[in-house]
Chain A
Amino acid sequence: MDPRAPRSERIYRSLLRRFPAGFRDEYGEDVVQLFRDRHAELRGSLGRTRALFWMRILGDLILEASAERVQSMVRGRRKTRRRRSGMFDALRQDVGYALRTLSRTPGFTALAVVTFALAIGANTAIFSVLNDVLLEPLPFGHPEELVAVWETSPREGVEKSDTSAGLFLDWRERNQSLKELTAWTWDSVVLEGDFETTALNAVLVYPNFFSVLELDPLFGRAFTLDDAAPGARGKVAIVSHALWRDRLGADPAIVGKALRIDGEAHTVVAVMRTGVSAPDSSADLWIPYSFQSPVRWERHRRRFLVYGRLREGTGIDAAQEDFSRIAGDLRSGEYRDIYEHWDALLVPLREEIVGGSRPALLIGLAAVGVVLLIACVNIANMLLARSAGRRREMALRTAIGAARGRVIGLLLTESLVLAAAGGALGLVVARVTHQALLRFQPGILPRAEELSLDHWALGFACLVTALSGVLFGLAPAVQTLRLHVQKFLQQGGGRSATEGRGFTRTRAVLVTAQLALATVLLCGAGLLLRTLSELGRVDPGFRTEESLALRLFLDTRRYDSQEKVAEYYARLTDRLSQIPEVTAVGASSALPMDPLGVSYDLPYRLEGQKELDDNELPQADFRVVTPGYFEALGASLVAGRTFDRFDRADRPLVALVNETMARQVWPHGGAIAQRFETPSTGWNWFEVVGVVSDTRFHGLRSEPRPEIYVAHAQVPRANMTFVVRTEGDPASLASSLRRRVLEEDPSQPTHSLVAMADLVSDTVKAEKFYTAVLAAFSALALTLAASGVFAVLSYWVARRTHEIGVRMALGASRATVMREVLSKGLTLGSLGAGLGLLGALFTTRVVESVLFQVSATDAATFGGVALLLLATALSACAVPALRASRVDPMVALREE
């Protein structure tokens, strides 16, 4: 071979030797030449293309070489065969031999292949998801430069707060660390079509939004600063690819046409690319928003999220310092009353978007890693057992002249054949698992629409399992060959006397390790299961069954006065309650556990607290509700009365408080008829007329907070959510509810309609998902470990049939024999459980952040897991124990 040839060519040439000499002599040079031409095309391409190239080339060589072999064999071209290179011949023989041997033990082969496949498949699937979500770049240009900027106030207990338009403009003007800043917020708008009106998710953006994220439209132009000229909203819009395709008929001439959005004509200036999800995939259209000359009070309206792009060479720490400096300036400036306790917080955008799913994914990865480890141990164990039984065969082969290398090659080939079959099946498992993960993940994986199976992960998992196979397939071979062959054969073929103590011990250690690892996983899964059941036991404070939530975002252009808004909701309430199946109707400015609910705190001042400064006042969650709300929600009245239709705008202002507030503020009772002042629309005095029961407003995990409820007729809000309690199946009412809403006002659509039960269960969907994943992996781990126990004990019994026979002939009872096997299983089980629990003490901390009212070392869970493990170990040795007890002494002794 020409040593000056490129490495790729040398590799190719050496692989080409797998072909029969006849073909090589005739076409070898041409094939290499073509390879050279092909390889030259690769110049300048990426790793993936190169990998694909080599995969194709290797596949070609393997397929064609095998076909060529078969062909020449069938044709009986002895001439070629004689010249065939020795090495390939040996390899072919070994593969053939391995296939024959393996097919003689279908049980073992199937188990090994399935073990390989499960380990490879599960790992690939989970790792692919992890890789895509946590490691792949965000779908923006230079995503590593992007940061999210929050307001933060540890003193007020606010970690991250949205920002006001005024502060955003201050930041833009004063910072020195960011190249650009942009701001956006969600809005719900109504699109009027020819036949129907639809509620859409709009993103109101500062005009540079797309250029900061470095996103280009599919066609059309990005926003310019002129688009947001004075006026609340500009008259242009960019539509999402999905909206353009599904609602606008994929009109290629859409740019320049006008859409009626919230009653105003908006000219479409661009269509975004498919899959552009900024800020996420639910965005239907983008509208530029005017940030000009915000007035002072607007600095209290923290409604914008701010993204920025770091200057080249500026780290996030330097930028953080820069923004903290600005915060410092603000604290002593014109608005010091607003910003006195506030700072800025910069977070890398990736962290902001994917950070929340990190614990779930890491738990998944840990689980999958443990399963991979257990699978490797299982494979090692099976191969050890197998080769221990075949030492006689190996010794015999060596004795009659087989080269040691060939004997090792033989065992190696067997392992590799198993690994290859496992890998092929593993690919199927990986695809199925990956799809199942994406299908059943309840919206907790960000960017799920972009995920795909990772071929590098598949390769890695294959490599690890194959290596473990090779390593353990080889170990016994090497050990065999170290023995004196002669001695080995003389000793009656190694039935019992030379059965290595070392082997048995190694295998016992391996099985114990498996059991221990499975225990750790089971403990994690057990803790999560207990968390779910604890969460299920929490009383949300309202009845979720048989009720629906119906959201409305009233168009404030047409309902432009408080009276109109109040009248609209009063009329709609009447209309909805006329539906025969509806038993109660009420609306609130925010529903418990509703992710779309706008909930905010307001300070309040009790009578006689005049001396307190505004900033020192206590705060409570502030909500606006209609009279039937508590009845519809299923919350109860503890004292006094709820709102009724006489609580009108022209009557004294009244309020309700929840139990927590009543307890905290008036610990000795007597909340009724107390008065407080709160800035609902300017500071006003309210009189408490009733106390209602607590609800878990912010989710099952969080304790109720003080709440103030005021009457909608007195403090109207445009955006309300109805709770409709029904008789019978609430889902069947959906269409008639929507119809009634349109009857009231044909141009005012329903924003969305969900079952209350879904709102609650959605708050624990992430927990449910990763509990299910962890439970599935634990079950897999336990099964693998059980099969390990089974294999070791079965083997032990098989090797000792003779000994057992002798002992039974001498009077040992069946029960004694059984007990012995069972006690071996129990020993393995308790050792494994003990070590596993010890390990779990240190490792369950991983899941601590997601536990609820369960300690990370919960004794009941750990105890239950230990029992489960022992029971599994015992049942795994039931069959071997029975087999041992059924040994017929006569048969066993005759075999000798």
Chain B
Amino acid sequence: MFRSATGAKPAGVPLKPTVFLILLALGERQRHGYGLVKAIESHAPGTRIEPANLYRTLRAMKREGLIAESTRRPDPELDDSRRRYFRITDKGARLARAEAERLSKLVRIAKKLRPIES
């Protein structure tokens, strides 16, 4: 059986890193594709998402109800009517928090590692 494109099993976590990053970026505010890419690149320097990959991921996330296309337009001055905006759903926010919780557990464990002795 193929896993879904978000990497999420029906129960949720763990999420694919890209999906998690998208959720975090949309958690701040609604964004269009380029805005999303820029936000992700500033949150996680070194990450680069290419166009086709981004939109296939977005579509899968939309199908699973993690995000939705925004009906509310942002400030008309910033608006670019050609562009499609996305926002996070409640389910998406829940999953993002669950993933964050999972990761922070790992971080706690990692912090207990003794420093490497040279």
B-contacting residues of A (Cβ < 8 Å)? 16, 19, 23, 26-27, 29-35, 37-38, 56-57, 59-61, 63-65, 67-68, 70-71, 74
Contacts and interface: CB of A to CB of B under 8 A. Distances in A.
A592 B53 CA distance: 66
Contacts of B84: 30
B53 A60 contact: yes
Interface-central residue, A30, A35, A68, by most chain B CB under 10 Å:
A30
A67 B54 contact: no
Contacts of B50: 56-57, 59-60, 64
Interface string B99-116: 000000000000000000
B82 interface: yes
Interface in B26-75: 33-34, 37, 48, 50-56, 58-59
A34 B2 contact: no
Contacts of B33: 30, 33-34, 37
Contacts of B82: 29, 33
Contacts of A71: 2, 5
Given A34-B33, A34-B34, 5 more contacts: A27-B55, A34-B54, A34-B55, A56-B48, A64-B52
Interface-central residue, A37, A67, A71, by most chain B CB under 10 Å:
A37
B51 A60 contact: yes
A415 B61 CA distance: 39
22 contacts: A23-B56, A23-B59, A30-B84, A31-B51, A31-B55, A32-B51, A33-B83, A34-B33, A34-B34, A34-B37, A34-B54, A34-B55, A37-B37, A38-B34, A38-B51, A57-B51, A59-B50, A60-B53, A64-B52, A64-B53, A68-B56, A71-B5
Contacts of A64: 50, 52-53, 56
A613 B52 CA distance: 87
B83 A65 contact: no
A64 B59 CA distance: 13
Interface residues of B, number: 18
Contacts of A56: 48, 50
Nearest to B56: A64
Given A56-B48, A71-B5, A30 B53 contact: no
Interface in B70-88: 82-84
B42 to A, nearest CB: 14
A63 B56 CA distance: 11
A93 B48 CA distance: 32
Nearest to B57: A64
Contact of B52 (A26, A29, A37, A60): A60
A429 to B, nearest CB: 28
Contacts of B5: 71
B2 to A, nearest CB: 6
B64 to A, nearest CB: 14
A170 to B, nearest CB: 56
Interface-central residue, A19, A56, A64, by most chain B CB under 10 Å:
A64
A30 B55 contact: yes
A60 B49 CA distance: 9
B24 to A, nearest CB: 19
A70 B5 CA distance: 12
A64 B37 CA distance: 17
A57 B53 CA distance: 10
Contact of A30 (B2, B48, B83): B83
Nearest to A12: B51
Contacts of A67: 56
Contacts of B59: 23, 26-27
A781 to B, nearest CB: 42
Contacts of B34: 33-34, 37-38
Contacts of A63: 53
Nearest to A38: B51
A813 B77 CA distance: 95
Contacts of A60: 50-53
Nearest to B83: A33
Query: Which 8 residue pairs across A and B have the least CB separation, nearest first?
Result: A60-B50, A64-B52, A37-B34, A34-B51, A27-B55, A34-B33, A31-B51, A35-B51
Nearest to B1: A74
A68 B48 CA distance: 20
B31 to A, nearest CB: 12
